[in-house]
A = this chain, B = another copy of it.
Amino acid sequence: VNFALGVDVGGTNVKAIAVTAKGRVLAEASVPTGGAHLPRWKNAARSAAAAVQRELHSAPTWIGVAAPGLPAPDQRRIAHLPDRLPGLEGLDWQRFFAFPRAIPVVNDAQAALLGEVWLGAARRAQNAILLTLGTGVGGAALVDGRLLRGHLGRAGHLGHISLNPKGERDIVNTPGSLEAAIGNCSLPARSGGRFSDTETLLAATLRGDADARRIWLDSIRALAAAIASLINVLDPRTVMIGGGIANAGPRLFAPLRRHLARFEWRPAGAKVRIVAAQLGDRAGAFGAARCATTFERDPR
């Protein structure tokens, strides 16, 4: 049976999923990289791909890669990723895997969105965005049926929108960004050093800790304002929220929906669907596989 191999290169693991063009999973593997700053991630990528092929006793028809950074315009390599995964920048994946077909390379957040639109929370969507809330805030956007890539492949960096022009600048210089308002990376700063991850913060809110509650609700108000902004710019039908912080479930979604009832522009009552992403950390590999099956026909 023909299958696509989706490979998702992350800082801690490389995932590989073998999936048919209809979305049936045949095999999968995950191999630790040993650290985002070591060159060993390449071995992990080879091992993950090899493990899946060994299990299936056959080679993939298509391969697609999801990776952090900005893909080159030809979508065959990552053109820009400073300071992480040494050797990824510029790597030609078709050569790396010695594969007979072109291997498309997609930004990891963009791949996760494509995965969710293929097999997850926004199937067959024409207009959807994904926000992943974790250490940082990632994102991607599908508008009018097409993934936004942009001039440098950076379209959809939804975590880097300003909610305070006078705020501190984040890793890409955005002042007072959404990432700084809700990402785990900023929680120590937001809590005067009391909390370092959202799970602990949420546990404290459940114990009735007033500071924790204020910090959490402020971050959700900021998220709601950001989503209202993105709705006005990208006009999605569905907003998907993934990443570790989305595991908060109703403690996230209930106050978020309350704020959106105030902040969202609802022309003639039309309301955007706010839903949890469904594919978790497999979304990127699914999206990469999906890209691979359609790349030669429609490279966009």
| A residues in contact (CB < 8 Å) with B | 70, 79-80, 126-127, 141, 143-144, 146, 148-158, 160-166, 169, 172-176, 181, 221-222, 224-226, 228-237, 262-265, 267-268, 270, 300
The answer for the CA separation of A226 and B290 in the assembled complex, in Å, is 33
Specify the chain B residue showing the minimal Cβ separation from A178: B229
Known: A146-B144, A163-B163, A265-B173. A233 touches B235 (CB 8 A): no
What is the interface of chain A mostly: helix, strand, loop, or mixed? loop
Most buried by B among A164, A229, A262: A229
The answer for the CA separation of A300 and B143 in the assembled complex, in Å, is 12
The answer for the CA separation of A126 and B164 in the assembled complex, in Å, is 30
Q: In the complex, are the beta carbons of B233 and A149 less than 8 A apart?
A: no
Q: Which residues of B contact A267 (CB under 8 A)?
A: 70, 80, 152, 154
The answer for the CA separation of A229 and B169 in the assembled complex, in Å, is 12
Specify the chain B residue showing the minimal Cβ separation from A158: B233
Mind listing 24 A-B residue pairs with CB under 8 Å? Answer: A126-B151, A127-B150, A141-B233, A143-B143, A143-B150, A144-B149, A146-B146, A150-B235, A151-B236, A154-B265, A155-B234, A156-B233, A157-B265, A160-B265, A162-B228, A164-B225, A165-B221, A165-B224, A166-B221, A173-B262, A173-B263, A174-B229, A174-B265, A233-B234
Q: Lowest 10 CB-CB distances: which A-B pairs, in order? A: A150-B235, A165-B225, A161-B229, A172-B265, A162-B225, A127-B151, A155-B235, A160-B232, A151-B237, A157-B232
Minimum CB–CB distance for A268 against chain B, Å: 6
Q: In the complex, are the beta carbons of A263 and B175 less than 8 A apart?
A: yes
Minimum CB–CB distance for A272 against chain B, Å: 8
Q: Which residues of B contact A233 (CB under 8 A)?
A: 141, 155-158, 161, 230, 233-234
The answer for the CA separation of A187 and B232 in the assembled complex, in Å, is 22
The answer for the CA separation of A164 and B228 in the assembled complex, in Å, is 12
Minimum CB–CB distance for A211 against chain B, Å: 18
Minimum CB–CB distance for A206 against chain B, Å: 24
Most buried by B among A143, A156, A157: A143
Q: In the complex, are the beta carbons of A175 and B80 less than 8 A apart?
A: no
Q: In the complex, are the beta carbons of A155 and B174 less than 8 A apart?
A: no
Q: In the complex, are the beta carbons of B263 and A169 less than 8 A apart?
A: yes
Q: Which residues of B contact A231 (CB under 8 A)?
A: 154
The answer for the CA separation of A160 and B266 in the assembled complex, in Å, is 13
Q: Which residues of B contact A154 (CB under 8 A)?
A: 231-232, 235, 265, 267
The answer for the CA separation of A222 and B262 in the assembled complex, in Å, is 23
Q: In the complex, are the beta carbons of B164 and A143 less than 8 A apart?
A: no
Q: In the complex, are the beta carbons of B150 and A236 less than 8 A apart?
A: yes
